[in-house]
Amino acid sequence: MNCAEKREMVRRALLLYAVTDRSWVGEKTIYEQVKASLDGGITLLQLREKEMPYEDFLREAKDIKALAASYRVPMMINDNVDLALAVDADGVHVGQSDMEAGSVREKLGQDKIIGVSARTVLEALRAEKAGADYLGVGAVFSTSTKEDADVIAWNTLKEVCQAVSIPVVAIGGIKKNNVMQLAGSGAAGISVISGIFGQPDIRTACEELLALAKEMIKK
């Protein structure tokens, strides 16, 4: 895959990007939740475990990687580059206070996907220069899932999208009722935790969000 093909593949994958979070696990296991989201049509998955011991995370990641692969959906790992390599994940997502994107690229090689969280144009340009394949930009709406997630202006999202050539996915507080507010921003898709995994019917929530995301990127 050349650079242009990879960029297009990543852009398409960002349409409905589901991110797991243990605080939204109820009766279902993460595996069951992820399966329901895959049935609902998610286009990219990120396994985000903040407190799990390495061995448990490794086991979970192996199982879920095989599950996601059977749906041909790429799986990203939050933060943990070594674990991502151990399970042959499709990529790694890092925040501003995690390993720097350039170092992640050195460890992962050219084929894997690297995502970086950015809240400003400056952070976005730096991440792009360091080799990021996409940016996660937000919080675009208020959310209780991430405590330190301050809401950015709609214009900031748009300015970031205009400033970089890599695709941007919006994140933070995205629900059925606000997806269309992102139209015209230039975002390639939506990244969602509670709007998927906090819902009683995960599959239907994904089907609805996917339809909205398709509408959103057209406008």
- 107 counts as catalytic: no
The one segment of 3-11, 55-63, 106-114, 167-175 that binds ligand TZP by CB under 6 A: 167-175
- 219 counts as catalytic: no
Written as one string, the DSSP assignment of the chain is: --HHHHHHHHHHHTTEEEE--GGG--SS-HHHHHHHHHHTT-SEEEE--SS--HHHHHHHHHHHHHHHHHTT--EEEES-HHHHHHTT-SEEEE-TTSS-HHHHHHHH-SSSEEEEEESSHHHHHHHHHTT-SEEEEE-SS--SSSTT-PPPPHHHHHHHHHH-SS-EEEESS--TTTGGGGTTS---EEEESHHHHTSSSHHHHHHHHHHHHHHHHH-
Instruction: Write the interaction track for Mg ion spanning residues 3-42; mark x where CB under 5 A is met and - where it is not.
Output: ----------------------------------------
Q: Are 152 and 119 in contact (CB under 8 A)?
A: yes
80 is in an annotated binding site: no
173 is in an annotated binding site: yes
- 59 counts as catalytic: no
User: Does residue 195 belong to the site contacting ligand TZP (CB under 6 A)?
Assistant: yes
Binders of Mg ion in range 55-84 (CB under 5 A): 79
Residue 176: CB minimum distance to ligand TZP, A: 12
144 is in an annotated binding site: yes
User: Does residue 100 belong to the site contacting Mg ion (CB under 5 A)?
Assistant: no
Distance CA 173, CA 215 (A): 18
CB nearer ligand TZP, residue 55 or residue 191? 191
User: Does residue 138 belong to the site contacting ligand TZP (CB under 6 A)?
Assistant: yes
Instruction: Write the interaction track for Mg ion spanning residues 112-151; mark x where CB under 5 A is met and - where it is not.
Output: ----------------------------------------
Indicate which residues carry an active-site annotation: 48, 117, 146
Binding site, annotated residues? 46-50, 78-79, 98, 117, 143-146, 173, 193-194
